[in-house]
Amino acid sequence: MIVGAMTIKFYVPWVHSLKEKRMVVKSICGKAGNKFNISIAEVDAQDVHQTIVLGIACVTDETSHCNSILDNVLYFIEENTEAEIVKIDREIL
């Protein structure tokens, strides 16, 4: 069993309230979670308006498949949000 985990930190300068931030987070999590059958959630900086930190996890039987899933999720998120990606941490266990 191979577990892949990725943390993505975003900067969203147009967000000025937690309500606006929640809308962005729910949109990203809903679309990516449904499309790729992954676990995705906001994991840090939950009270900071212009920073979003998402944690993503997947489980598979091959390292190459795990890398492929995480690459595809990252590409999908980049294409479907205007938020600036500040940092990406990836780990394969």
Question: pLDDT of 15-58, one tens digit each?
Answer: 898 898 899 899 999 999 889 989 999 998 888 889 999 999 99
Q: How do the domains of the chain map onto residue ranges?
A: 2-92
- pLDDT of res. 33: 87
Distance of CA 48 to the CA centre of its chain: 17
The pLDDT tens digits of the residues spanning 57-78 come to 999 999 999 999 999 999 999 8
From residue 38, how far is each of 34, 35, 46, 50, 61 by CA, in Å?
Answer: 8, 8, 21, 25, 14
Residue with tokens 């929640």: 22
DSSP H or E stretch at residue 52: strand 51-60
pLDDT score, position 42: 93
Q: What does CATH list as the number for 2-92?
A: 3.30.70.1120
pLDDT > 90? residue 81? no
Overall residue count recorded for the chain in this entry:
93
- Per-residue confidence (pLDDT) for residue 80, from 0 to 100: 86
- Residues 6 or more apart whose CB falls under 8 angstroms from that of 76 comprise 31, 32, 35, 36
